[in-house]
Amino acid sequence: GENVEQHPSTLSVQEGDSAVIKCTYSDSASNYFPWYKQELGKRPQLIIDIRSNVGEKKDQRIAVTLNKTAKHFSLHITETQPEDSAVYFCAASRGGSTLGRLYFGRGTQLTVWP
Amino acid sequence: KAGVTQTPRYLIKTRGQQVTLSCSPISGHRSVSWYQQTPGQGLQFLFEYFSETQRNKGNFPGRFSGRQFSNSRSEMNVSTLELGDSALYLCASSRLKGDTGELFFGEGSRLTVL
């Protein structure tokens, strides 16, 4: 089955700096890569996703890049704010009828210091 | 629109007992997935139901089972509980319309096995 590795496990940045979280996957058939944010005590929520026919996607301060050849994708957060502090999970899926089955990385605890 | 509702939110069981968790998806969502979240393993896929049929299954022992009713509500059952089953069990629903793959998570059922 799919194996998703996520690094780093913890990340501390100063407010206003950028944060980058990297993930690798093993299944070349995976074609859908979402990122979920989970604040302390809250449910995971989708923040951005990318499909394998796209190399980069941006949404305000958040961007995701995908390198299919190398089987890795990254989350970039610019101009970080304290409210960005949370655990971020990357995930991979084969899509289609398996969209409900996501393989998650183990998460990155991001702390943004004011 | 009401979100995904999970009950109970907290429960304590002893080894050997069984437990049933319930999930009510967002109205109109036909796919319901279950995930186990633990600090060490992150989010691990248990199974997914679509139109009352189990469509995908993760690598969990047969003690973990589930079902989905005609109104899309889902239940999962864990029999012969073990200490290692202590975790947050998250349910997620999705409309899976076209290429939309967003999972909407509930707040989870936190199970403690003593």
| Confidence check: pLDDT of B98 > 70 | no
- Check if the beta carbon of residue A36 is closer than 8 Å to that of residue A91: yes
Mean predicted confidence (pLDDT) in A22-46? 95
Question: Across the interface, do A34 and B96 touch by the CB < 8 Å criterion?
Answer: no
Percentage of chain A surpassing pLDDT 70? 100
User: Nearest CB to A89: which of B31, B43, B59?
Assistant: B43
Q: How far is CA B79 from CA B42, B45, B76, B82, B114, in A?
A: 22, 18, 10, 9, 14
Give residue B100's identity as a one-letter amino acid code: T
Q: Which of A47-51, A53-57, A107-111, B30-34 has the lowest mean pLDDT?
A: A53-57
Q: Would you call B101 and A98 a contact, using CB atoms and an 8 Å cutoff?
A: no
- CB within 8 A of B65, min separation 6: which ones? B76, B77, B78, B79
Residues A43-89: tens digit of each pLDDT: 999 999 998 888 999 999 999 999 999 999 999 999 999 999 999 99
